[in-house]
Amino acid sequence: MKRLSGARTRRKSKRLKLSPVPSIRLKLIFAILSLGLMGLLGRTFWLQVFQSRVLEAHAREFQTEKKRPLGTRRSILDRRGRLVALDEERYRLWAHPRYFQFPGDVSGIRRTPEEVAKKLSQLLSTSTDEILLDLGDRSSGVKLAENLNQEIAHEIRKLRISGIDLEAYPQRIYPQGALFANVVGFLDIDRRPQAGLELSLDKHLLREEKASILRRGADGTPLPDDIQPGVLNMDHLNLHLTLDTRLQEVATKELAAQVKRWDATKGVVIVMDITNGELLALASTPSYNPNSYWNYSPILFKEWSVQDLFEPGSTFKPINLALALEEGVIDPQGKVNDNGIVNVGGWSLSNWDRKPNGILDFAEVLQVSSNVGMVKIMQKLNPTDYWEWLRKLGLDDKPQTDLPGAVPGQLKAKEIFVKQPIEPAVAAFGQGFSITPLKLAQLHALIANGGKLVTPHITRGLIGDDQEYSPPLEEGRQVLSPEVTNTVLGWMETVVEKGSGQSAQVPGYRIGGKTGTAQKSKNGKSYSSKICSFVASLPIEKPRYVVLVVVDEPQKPYAYGSTVAVPVAKKVIESLLVIEKIPPSAKNNTFLSMKD
């Protein structure tokens, strides 16, 4: 018991006695806490009041993702919706070796270029050594490849290699190759338009794109607020052409074969809807592939049918006959004596075969393509009136067309034309002045449509799912009377029935036409080569289309419009009849104006 009581006494003696905390210590602690709180409040006040805009800007920058537009262009389609030009998304592959890691690697581990090159070589169809050579000893910003398609880019993404980036960019593609190169043109490697519609309609072909600015939450989810209006709206407008791919293919194939067969320099085929000026085909050769334009001479980048001038020759004779009829200097039932030669101002002018044709009616003048007959007919027209008519037809005006690079024709000054009799004389059979093939097609459309000068064009406008922007077209200007043009059109039908255009006949169809074999001047002084042409209008009972074929400088003997140009025109006409589903002509249908 004594031991137990002694132990309790010792435990009691170890207890500490509590004593009050000195007030100075409490005041010191309170002062420290108060100063800290005041510092926090001051810092908060400073950030909220004076630094709020700066901090908000930093936060916005961190939360906001801004994607700049790629600068894509609208697609170009033919009249039936087939793609002629489009933008495809392609990719550049960039490597940053200092960040190379594979999925699952521990932080801090860096893969060697050899390991990465082995994985990439299988997808890039490139050897590992070539990739390593490109990488060299650089640590970042190495371009390994470009022009990668979406499939390859997707496979590269699946590798999930850190330090490998894919940069998207648009690549202009021309699915039809050389077929439409003469009118569509191309973009260079920096996407700058260099020729054709790509150049002339550059602003219209750029899609309306806005930089997308989206705010994201902490988990990366896009936030619905602050999305700019129009960012998510897509531009679905595409440029639609009047050209038909199927007809263009036929025209290009037949023309190229004929140019090669006759060792000619170049050629063109134009198919025009005479009611509104739409071109269904504008094929020229030689051409180039816009997908690899760098392999071709720049001289091929222009469309010569609207930029080069030529003397139309006999294909202009129907136009001249229409002018003589319009002025009333000849009668539809009249005749002319072709004695084989005519002297004008000291110059002797003859027929192409230097033979006389005797007494001819005006249909026969076209059938035998009488130069002498045409000179005598046009001599009845006052030279001043003749020149004024050529001006009225717009021979020396720049044509109103959407075809890029179109140029005006060349017509002698009025004083020269009027005072020198040889000028209207040679103009009577289509020489002494120059026009483009496009202008010649427009003038024959005027003969076929009742005397209206329509605007030739190849674009219908920008068309989308629920939008359409079509350029306003000028209504055809009435130049000649329908009675006159119908009469001339009837005379042209006889050229195909029993004249130089017989090879253009298609069973069951009534077709009018005129051949031309013009001498081609060199430096305006000498005639050393030919240019062969043929123009057709169809169907005669209800004209709708004009087909023009021009072949420049055929080198082989017996090169005439009938032998060089007509075979191409016939193939194109046959395809046109099928594509446009034109029914055969009525057997008993007569051309009333022939009896005027």
Annotated active-site residue 75? The verdict is no
Query: What are the sequence ranges of the domains in the chain?
Result: 88-174, 245-291+299-595
Task: Give how far Cα 201 sits from Cα of 36, 130, 373, 426, Å.
Answer: 69, 42, 46, 39
What is the model's pLDDT at position 147? 86
What is the model's pLDDT at position 565? 97
The C-alpha atoms of residue 438 and residue 455 are separated, in whole angstroms, by: 10
Third-level CATH fold of 88-174: Penicillin-binding protein 2a (Domain 2) (3.90.1310)
Tens place of pLDDT per residue across the chain (596 aa)? 445 455 555 555 566 677 777 888 878 888 888 888 888 888 888 878 888 787 777 776 666 655 555 678 999 999 999 999 999 989 999 999 988 999 888 888 889 989 899 989 888 888 989 999 988 888 888 899 988 988 999 999 999 999 899 988 899 999 999 999 999 999 998 889 999 999 999 998 998 766 556 565 555 555 555 555 544 456 689 999 999 999 999 999 999 999 999 999 999 999 999 999 999 999 999 999 999 999 999 999 989 899 999 999 999 999 999 999 999 999 999 999 999 999 998 899 999 888 999 999 999 999 999 999 999 999 999 999 999 999 999 999 988 899 988 999 999 999 999 999 999 999 999 999 999 999 999 999 999 999 999 999 999 999 887 777 777 777 788 999 999 999 999 999 999 999 999 999 999 999 999 999 988 766 555 566 889 999 999 999 999 999 999 999 999 999 999 999 999 999 999 999 999 999 998 754 443 333 32
What is the model's pLDDT at position 187? 93
Quote the DSSP letter at residue 561. I
**Which of these is catalytic: 314, 434, 533, 562?**
314
3 state DSSP class of 239 = strand
Pair of tokens at residue 215 = 């705010």
Residue 44, classified by CB atoms within 10 Å of its CB into exposed (0-12), middle (13-18) or buried (19+), is exposed
What architecture (CATH level 2) is domain 245-291+299-595? 3-Layer(aba) Sandwich (3.40)
What is the model's pLDDT at position 231? 46
The C-alpha atoms of residue 173 and residue 390 are separated, in whole angstroms, by: 43
What is the model's pLDDT at position 22? 81
Quick one: CA dihedral 203, 179, 530, 566, positive or negative?
A: negative
Query: Is the distance from CB of 547 to CB of 536 less than 8 angstroms?
Result: yes
